[in-house]
Amino acid sequence: MNSNEEDDFNSSELNFIQKLETIGSGTYGIVYKGKIKDTEEFIAIKKIKIELESEGVPSTALREICILRELKHNKVVE
């Protein structure tokens, strides 16, 4: 992991999470195992790769974001 990825993960919006390890990666992103510091609850965090192309954000990334936003489950952040 390069320093930019580390900095992105440790932004002030995510400072309540302890990143433990990389679970997997693929075309669309990287999934990390993490733990919420206050509750000790284990979580998975998906960081979607958005590499701007000449036409903008790839349609495959937008499609995945839309699908993830529609999931309604107590273990998935809206």
> Regarding predicted confidence, which is higher, 16 or 57?
16
Query: For residues 42 and 23, what is the distance between their CA atoms, to the nearest angstrom?
Result: 12
For residue 31, is it within any domain? Answer: yes
Q: Which pTM was predicted?
A: 0.63
For residue 75, is it within any domain? Answer: no
What domain count does the chain have? 1
CATH, residue 13: 3.30.200.20
Residue whose token pair is 């701007």 = 52
Query: For residues 67 and 60, what is the distance between their CA atoms, to the nearest angstrom?
Result: 11
For residue 28, is it within any domain? Answer: yes
Q: Are the C-beta atoms of residues 34 and 19 closer than 8 Å to each other?
A: yes
Query: For residues 44 and 14, what is the distance between their CA atoms, to the nearest angstrom?
Result: 13
Query: For residues 61 and 48, what is the distance between their CA atoms, to the nearest angstrom?
Result: 7
Domain that holds residue 37: 3-70
Query: What confidence tens digit (pLDDT) does each residue in 6-36 have?
Result: 445 566 777 888 899 999 998 778 899 999 9
